[in-house]
Amino acid sequence: ISKFLSLFLLMAIGLKGGMALSVSGIQPQILLGLGIALLMAFLVPAYTYPLLRLRTDGYNAAAVAATYGSVSAVTFIAAGQFLNNQGVEFGGYMAVALVLMESPAIIMAVALAAHARGQANLQSGAVPGAAGDKVSMKSVLHEAFTDGGHLLLLGS
């Protein structure tokens, strides 16, 4: 039941964002907002990773940095409800920003973890480019875009 409720929630968010975008149309201010959201999904992990790396290992730093770049659907809903309660209007198309911000976070997590693995291999004296050392970008993109919940968000 919990899996069903999670998928139902994601589908409702995706449909709400898609309907809001279809009503308002693609306008320059909407594209700007979505572009900034997408950019932030890449920038936040990129600048938090080196800071986190000062306190923890590369793999944990990559995971936490990517988490900061992503958006929680529950947090998104809570923020929307808070704005509604305060009487602040916001574009319903922002649900599309939620969807757009998921893939970059996944891609950044894998890229940063691959970087951490490469650094660890160099420090241990392993040969760069050894078998099992590389992660193909094709497999990263496939994972990022075909995860069940994310695919449901994109599709709805």
Whether the pLDDT of residue 51 is over 90: the answer is: yes
Radius of gyration of the chain, Cα coordinates, nearest whole angstrom? 18
pLDDT single digits (tens) 86-125: 888 777 777 777 777 777 777 787 778 777 777 777 776 6
Angle of helix 58-69 relative to helix 94-124, nearest 10 degrees? Answer: 170
- Whole-model pTM: value is 0.64
User: Which one has a higher pLDDT value, 116 or 50?
Assistant: 50
**Separation CA 113–CA 14 (nearest Å):** 29
